[in-house]
Structure 1
Amino acid sequence: MSKLELDRPVAVAEAAPPPRRARWSARSRRDFVVFLAMALPNLVLIAVFTYRPLFANIQYSMLDWTLGSTTARVVGLENYVTFFTSEDAPRVFGTTAVFTVFTVGLSMVLGLLVALALNSKVRGTTFARAAVFAPYVLSGVGVGLVWMFIFDPGYGVLAWILKGLGGKSPEWFNDPQLGLTMVTIVYVWKNLGYCAVVYLAGLQSLPGDVMEAAALDGAGAVRRFWNMALPLLSPTTFFLLITTILSSLQAFDLIRIMTPLGNGTSTLIYEAYLQAFGAYNRAGYSASISVVLFVILLIVTVVQVRFVEKKVHYA
């Protein structure tokens, strides 16, 4: 080999680019088809029966429309302004807040106490669990009719008991405050079993070795509950807080059956019903109240997930 050939730079062979992976392989296409087959029917049902009525309701809320009329007039945000500036708005918001706070608070506190009782190892707990949970699965209409007979001041069971004790039954259906109290009692009774069963599941999932170790260290039952069981139940409490608040804000059947005229029990959802199907037939105005309720539900859910969940102990 000559010197000239030795001094000539040797060309370095360029590395071959890595083979490109096919963007849509046969397996990827097959997985995508399976995903569409599984998810598409559910997505279509959600779009048709949830989001379409939601956007339609928002559209109706901007109309001056009487239920049954074939014509409507676009009024923009006038229905919202009318509602928030009316004398009924503070009453409706106040009733909704009182009903929600008491039903959620009492259902969760009493449900936890019942769950603690049902968690004990004694005879008859299986029957007691079924009996506690039974009202939750019953029809709200049937429950309301039965409790109307109990609360009736003339011939109801409660009036008969009070009469035997020398007292007189209050006018539950005529007094607005008593009407709200009556509906709250029945709603808590009906939904108590749901909270109790969920809390019972949480209690039974607690680590037994940790609780036994605390008992061996001398911690009493009350101390174990407050310092160990209750913090470990925070995921269950968080779940119940969201579901019970959303359920209470949308409570309708008991209010409709027990107080048809909404005497002191006009929550947001029932006020929307009265405005649309009562004596007013104001469908557009009712739709605006429904949108306000939807916004409140959305805000409550976001706030709970964003802030309350930070204090939940998932360990």
Structure 2
Amino acid sequence: LAAIVIQSAWRGHRVRCANRSAAAFRQRLSEATQEARARPHNTLGARARRALANLLRYTSVASVLEALGHLETATRFSREVCLWLLTTPTSTTPPPVASQCGDGRRGCEENAEYLPHVLLRLLHLCNRSVPNEEVALAAVAVMLNLTVAVNNADAGTVAMWWQRRVLNEEGSSHSQSIVEFLFGSLHRLSRAKPGTSSIRLFARISALLATLYETLPVDFAAPNDYVGETEALLSLVRRLWSTALSRLPVRPEVRLLLRRHQPHESRRRRGLLRRIVTLELNLERLPSKPQVNPIIACELLLSTLREHQRRCEHHHQQIHNTQM
């Protein structure tokens, strides 16, 4: 009888604590709703609209970083903002466009410029100085948030990352897609010294590319096969960075995730890598700013590329069998 009384008291205490948390959450949500109605200019959508206008207008590093910071916040907390930025042209007078866009799907608007294209031009202008690397890190962070709204059912949101555009507006014929530019950046960053911002940028770009490949439908004809290049890249960064990275402490959250992973679940390795990278990307926002492990991020990219290659081969084999 005493045990039943104690258990009942404990359950009642837990329920009351949970109700207090739920009540506090409802109160904060109600206050936020009232604030949005009273001050519509402070909503995430309005902040994103102002930040985009400032990004297109400003040229100083400090102003660009401020605009990117507002865009990162808005895109992190609102999928609707991400979808709006991916589907609303930023300019009515875009730079020239080269007409190679994945497999030429109808959803890709070649004559429109969207936020990913603006960020691509911004990355193209960045040099190796510390302030410019901060701009590049912020731009890639916004791109990572935007991938939440990339849907393989919408050809436009997928194909724009593969759409080749002229980066130099001064009459140059050289064109690159966002994916091509990012892979080129990985090669440049792969020889960076451990402890620099370039390592953090390498990890973010690897995570971004892995996410973009995960959204590709099996019938999307990606222009290039990067599996071989990424294998060589992973081998290189392991040789250059493994010793320095092994000295860094493992975050308790990551250690707990690894402990939950069973050794016999090797076939789920890619899922584990994705969870680790996602967790470390979230931990990067802490004041201590722990960095994402670039080797794990590159391994995730390689695993994702191989999986996409396998799915494409299986899809083509099925088509071949139906035609026989």
> Shorter-chain TM-score: what band?
under 0.3
Instruction: Identify which of structures 1 and 2 has the higher relative contact order when contacts are C-alpha pairs closer than 8 Å and 6+ apart.
Output: 1
TM-score by length of 1: 0.24
Q: Which has the larger radius of gyration?
A: 1
